[in-house]
Amino acid sequence: MTRSRIAVARRRFLQSCGALVVWPTLARAQEADALPALVEKLTGAKAPRDGKVTLDIPRIADNGNAVPLKVKIESAMTAQDHVKTVHLIAEKNPRPLVAAFFLGPHSGKAEIDTRIRLNGTQRVVAVATMADGSQWRGIAEVDVAESACYDATNP
Amino acid sequence: MTARVLVPKEVKRGAPFPVRIAIQHVMETGFRYDLFGKPIPKNVVNTLVCRYDGVEVFRAEMGSGIAANPYLQFYTVAGKSGELEFSWVDDAGVEGSERVMVTVVP
């Protein structure tokens, strides 16, 4: 009698442990759905294709106040085929649109370096719009140890 | 507002060369509060334009997600020697500009 009750309690406990493990994974999956909508809202890019855009950013950033970032886009940068716009998006920043860069055939090379602020661990997305209207996307995940907007939610 | 611009001493005709600019600016996010609990208004350099001999070669529209003292590096090409001119403006309407000569060698 007592034995079986213990067994049931143990089973329940183990099940709840399992649920705890599964829960963050599910939360992640739901987050993944929010990003394309955010990108579309900010850039008008309905379905940017993955590729051509490379984000060079540390995997772990100590300080979210200044995270070095390099965006590289594969493009010949000629009069016919060049990058027109690059949008930088940080999904969890209070203002997710970090910057928009406008390039042209005068750029010669589609590569931009800057330093951005990141409000916590999140994904950073760069969307490039080409002269022919095609849109390409690059994503990088960054773990931020110290968030930039420490007093944004707690004045 | 002061800024530092860095270009190579000499650039090859038609070859992309890096242009670096660092502007001294707080890039206030608008999410911070002062000692009296009053919000500090947002003030960031929102637009930066770079022209080469009067032709726009680069433009950046920035928000509060750009770190303080914004730093940018981008590339451009030059056919002949000329002047690279930067101009920018912040949310408070303060404008800044910087010029630098580019020497092109064949």
For chain A, which residues make up each domain, given as ranges?
29-146
Residue A155 has pLDDT above 50, yes or no: no
Beta strands, E only, A8-134: 49-50, 53-56, 60-63, 67-73, 83-90, 97-102, 111-116, 122-130
Retrieve residue A117's tokens. 């602020």
User: pLDDT-derived band of residue A5, with 50, 70 and 90 as boundaries?
Assistant: confident
pTM above 0.95, yes or no: no
**In contact, A136 and A51? CB cutoff 8 Å:** yes
CATH number of the domain within which B98 lies: 2.60.40.10
Q: What is the DSSP letter of A92?
A: T
The segments of chain B whose pLDDT lies below 50 read none
Would you state the pLDDT for residue A67? 95
Q: Which fold has domain A29-146?
A: Immunoglobulin-like (2.60.40)
Element (H, E) at A144: strand A135-146
pLDDT at position A84:
95
Residues of chain B with Cβ-Cβ distance to A95 below 8 Å are 63-65
Measured distance CA(B75)–CA(B7) in Å, rounded: 10
At A70 the pLDDT is 97
Using the predicted structure, report yes or no on whether residue A32 has a pLDDT greater than 60. no
Q: What is the pLDDT of residue A35?
A: 87
- The domain in which residue B17 lies consists of 3-105
Cβ contact, residue pair B75, A109, below 8 Å: yes
- Asked whether residue A153 carries a pLDDT value surpassing 90, the answer given is no
- Chain A residue numbers touching B77 (CB-CB < 8 A): 106-108
Which among B52, B57, B67 is the nearest to A66, CB-wise?
A: B67
- Chain B, 17-76: which have a CB under 8 Å from a chain A CB? 17, 20, 29, 31-33, 37, 39, 52, 55-68, 70-76
Question: Quick check: A108 and B71 CB within 8 A?
Answer: no
CB contact under 8 A, A98 and B66: yes
Strands, E, within chain B: which ranges?
3-6, 11-12, 17-23, 45-52, 55-62, 71-76, 82-90, 95-102, 104-105
* Count of domains for chain B: 1
For the segment B6-35, what is each residue's pLDDT rounded down to a tens digit? 999 999 999 999 999 999 999 999 988 888
Whether the ipTM is more than 0.90: the answer is yes
Give me the pLDDT at residue A148, please.
Answer: 81
For residue A31, pLDDT beyond 90: no
pLDDT digits (tens, 9 = 90+) for A92-141: 999 999 999 999 999 999 999 999 999 999 999 999 999 999 999 999 99
Are the C-beta atoms of B102 and B15 separated by less than 8 Å? no
Query: What DSSP character marks residue A22?
Result: H
Residue-level pLDDT at A3 = 67
Query: Which pLDDT tens digit goes with each residue over A53-86?
Result: 999 999 999 999 999 999 999 999 999 999 999 9
- Cβ–Cβ gap B67/A67 under 8 Å: yes
